[in-house]
Structure formats: C-alpha cells, structure tokens
Amino acid sequence: MKIALTSIFVDDPIKAHAFYTEVLGFQSKEYIPDAQLAVVVSPEDPDGTALMLEPRGDSFAKLYQESVYESGLPVIVFSAENIEKVRQDLEKRGVKFRDDLAKPEWGLLNLFEDTCGNLIMLRNENQK
C-alpha cells in the first residue's frame, strides 16, 4: 500500500496553486479554479504522492491551520538531496524562511511560509 494523495488546508487554493507551481516548482496534476480544486505533484516523481491544496473556509480547518501555524509547526515536510542549494534557490524566488523558529535540538530547521497560512519544513532527503 502507498500514499496516493494527501492534503493541506490553505486559505486560497488559487493563490496556493500559483505559489506551489510557480515558486516551489511543483506540477499541476489537477487544477480546476472554478471548483477550488488544486492538486500538485513533484516533477521528480509525477506519479508519486499528490498534494491537494484544500480550501479551509471558515470551518474547523481555519482554527486548526491557525493553531498549527501559531505553534510554529510545519504541516508538511518536503525533502531535497541538496537542501542548501534548494534553500538558496527558493530564497532567490522570494521564499521567506523562518530562522526565528529554528530549534536544532528538536530538528525544526528550514521552515518557510507558503503564503497561504502554513509553515513547510525542508529536510535533507537522506535524513532519517
């Protein structure tokens, strides 16, 4: 059994789709703006796990998303073979990393904001 699809709540799926594809470099798997449907995949594994950018609305999801964000916790972790290079590339594209939240003793490093209400963690692909 494999994970085929997972989702994260975003404040605006259209804005999130633009950030995840244009800034982070993911590819659209399914994108229907009128239906608020945005699903992206990694270009390194287009048939792998997909990520749905789920509209949070004003439901329980808004409180959940805001609570996780205010706690300084990532909602998802992405990996890269060379995180230093990826981080530099993302910073050049305007991604804001949250060094104020870095807690090496807990492993919370390379946190960045997705501009849609979430913190994302970038970790070394070979890290266990």
pLDDT 10s digits, 47-98: 999 999 999 988 899 999 999 999 989 999 999 998 889 999 999 999 999 8
Per-residue confidence (pLDDT) for residue 99, from 0 to 100: 77
* Whether the predicted pLDDT of 107 surpasses 90: no
What's the sign of the alpha-carbon dihedral 67, 33, 46, 48?
A: positive
One CATH from 3.20.20.70, 3.40.50.12140, 3.10.180.10, 3.40.228.10 for 5-56+65-124: 3.10.180.10
Domain boundaries, the chain: 5-56+65-124
Q: What CA–CA distance (Å, rounded) separates 121 from 79?
A: 8
Alpha carbon of 110 to those of 2, 10, 26, 96: distances in Å?
Answer: 27, 20, 18, 10
Q: What CA–CA distance (Å, rounded) separates 115 from 41?
A: 18
Per-residue confidence (pLDDT) for residue 113, from 0 to 100: 94
pTM (2 d.p.):
0.89
pLDDT digits 0-9 by tens, 41-61: 999 999 999 999 999 988 899
Burial (Cβ within 10 Å: 0-12, 13-18, ≥19) of residue 19: buried
Q: What CA–CA distance (Å, rounded) separates 70 from 72?
A: 5
C-beta atoms surrounding 118 within 10 Å = 22
Across 7-11, 25-29, 90-94, 97-101, least confident range = 97-101
Q: How confident is the model at residue 100 (pLDDT cuts 50, 70, 90)?
A: low
